[in-house]
Structure 1
């Protein structure tokens, strides 16, 4: 068994056969099961039927592009997504992450790099669990055993990395984590992304659990990183 990924299923979505077959070759050599979709419609069909552990999703696809596919997947699935694109502009990367992508890779790329990113994302974060894996705060519950976040009684559709990030911060209230430390704790020391990944995930978490609600939980420590603390909105403005 290689890095505990044996029998995990990866869905590769790319309309370039040489790209998808090369990724399939590398990933299967690492013990993954690989399924391939060549267009957006087939990607959604396979994602819902096989429930993969991770999706590698190209942006430029027939019928439905990668942006559309990511939006549809995020309506009812929290599967990690690595987005592929020939576009390297920062705005495209930010859009991909905001749509729920866990990573963004620009073509051309090394198949070995993609394999490393897949393994880093799938590797479970080794967080020290103290007395309980369920954390409760005013209008917020984080159940790490079920990978659930419940805000104001409503279950929030969250990716595994969002739950891990929220749990780590909440389990260490008022402790300031630098972006680099969060990358190391949640994504792993061999993660090949940068600190903007943390910023994007925090922004998404705030939108999901704080927008229109009475409390805020995740706070920016300017020039350093982030910390967790329960603040009632009227108190925040004082």
Structure 2
């Protein structure tokens, strides 16, 4: 499971974010004391950090810089400050993304999910992608939903991973075939359809949701 840590001094926002991400299968930790927050975050070893800028004791810029010196965890700045200089400074200090308040929670979820798909913790790529009520385990090539699981072929796994990375967006058939071609798993158009249908059937068998939607003439979307 992807571990998320929230550093936010507004208790209401912090609790809302924690409950929201827990519903989507994330393991969530929250910092509540801010005088030693850098040590607390490094000790917790989250995959992704949601970090406010305006905090007691130390601001988010200092925390971001300090953590980036010691860890490759994903860092998303979530703040009410929306000046271009704040965003530029955040990126220069090592943040991976910048989201302004008030934010759409589904968009924030998509940003976190996208970062989770590529983030490296201590140099090791995160092996599990989470979405909805299921997970995709890269090491075992398993689709997992609760106590149910099913094995995926290489092609099915690559298609699932591509759709998960772009969750909520339409992925064209051309994008899927390009992704598979780049990974030395060439599919023609008919074979892609067969593999998508097999993946959809396996997801249905273990009750994984959301399901794969077909956008006729365009592609697919989770």
Conserved in 2, the CA contact under 8 Å of 1:40 and 1:66?
Answer: no
Task: Report the alpha carbon displacement of residue 67 of structure 1 after superposing the two structures with TM.
Answer: 0.4
**TM-score by structure 1 length?**
0.50
1:24 is matched with: 18
Conserved in 1, the CA contact under 8 Å of 2:2 and 2:116?
Answer: no
**TM-score by structure 2 length?**
0.53
Matches within 5 A, 1:36-115: 36-38=30-32, 40-115=34-109
Conserved in 1, the CA contact under 8 Å of 2:8 and 2:55?
Answer: yes
Task: Report the alpha carbon displacement of residue 102 of structure 1 after superposing the two structures with TM.
Answer: 0.5
Unaligned runs of 5+ in 2: 127-161, 170-222
Q: Deviations over 1:37-92 (max 9, x none)?
A: 13543431221211100000000000111001001101111111000111111111
Could you tell me which of 3, 7, 20 is aligned with 1:9? 3
Distance 2:99 2:33 in 1: 19
Unaligned runs of 5+ in 1: 1-6, 126-143, 149-158, 161-184, 193-238
Conserved in 2, the CA contact under 8 Å of 1:39 and 1:64?
Answer: no
- Residue aligned with 1:34, SS: strand
Conserved in 1, the CA contact under 8 Å of 2:91 and 2:97?
Answer: yes
Conserved in 2, the CA contact under 8 Å of 1:117 and 1:191?
Answer: no
Matches within 5 A, 1:105-184: 105-124=99-118, 147=123
Task: Report the alpha carbon displacement of residue 111 of structure 1 after superposing the two structures with TM.
Answer: 2.2
Root-mean-square deviation (Å) = 2.9
Structure 1 runs of 4+ aligned residues shifted over 4 Å read 188-192
When the two structures are aligned, how many residues end up with a matched partner?
132
Could you tell me which of 21, 28, 37 is aligned with 1:34? 28
